[in-house]
Amino acid sequence: MTFDDGPDRINTPKILDILRDEQVVATFFVLGEKVERYPEVTQRIFQEGHLLANHSRTHADFAELSNEEILFLELEPTSAAVERLTGYYPRIMRPPYGSLRQDSVVFLRESGWQIVRWSLDTFDWDSTRNSPEEIIERVKTQHHNKAVVLMHCNGPATIQALPGIIKVLRGLGYEFVPVNQL
Ligand SMILES: [Zn+2]
């Protein structure tokens, strides 16, 4: 399970409460701007055993940026902010909107970055079709081995769907691991 676009003050703590109660470990692709705004929530993600990964500083479209801008303006400041708070420097990244040119893919890999996208989009970000029932149904029909499930630190649809998703996947025999253990 992966949660993008956090941390925030309201939704991320609720997601963390559910994950703690259900004993599920997840990956949070955080934004540098929000890491700086919500340091305690960032630290809580880390302390509760989840993996912190990099989702840029400003949620920019990386297809519009040079490779140097991606690295020096978006990725490095975000991981440095995480490291200041936790001691951990993320080297796993997911580009906002999944948008990344092929030359940037090569450049980032050569710079030591691991790019992680997703394989199951719950569409929890899409307010026209993200009722909790619709989100859970997508997981029921699209689950697969080593799935990287895309969700977001937004709510309330995500938060209402989350216990149901965990129940469905557990019932099917899946285990939950951070993306660096897939
Ligand atoms: Zn995002």
CATH of domain 2-181: 3.20.20.370
Q: Are 99 and 132 in contact (CB under 8 A)?
A: no
| Torsional class of 26: left (φ above 0), alpha (ψ -120 to 50), beta (otherwise) | beta
152 counts as catalytic: yes
Q: Are 56 and 96 in contact (CB under 8 A)?
A: yes
Residue 21 alpha carbon to ligand 1 centre in Å: 26
Whose CA is closest to 55, among 76, 26, 81, 75? 75
4 counts as catalytic: yes
Instruction: Report pLDDT digits (tens) over 26-77.
Output: 999 999 999 999 999 999 999 999 999 999 999 999 999 999 999 999 999 9
Instruction: Report pLDDT digits (tens) over 76-85.
Output: 999 999 999 9
Q: What are the boundaries of each domain within the chain?
A: 2-181
Q: What pTM value is reported for the model?
A: 0.97
Instruction: Give Cα 16 distance to the centre of its chain.
Output: 13
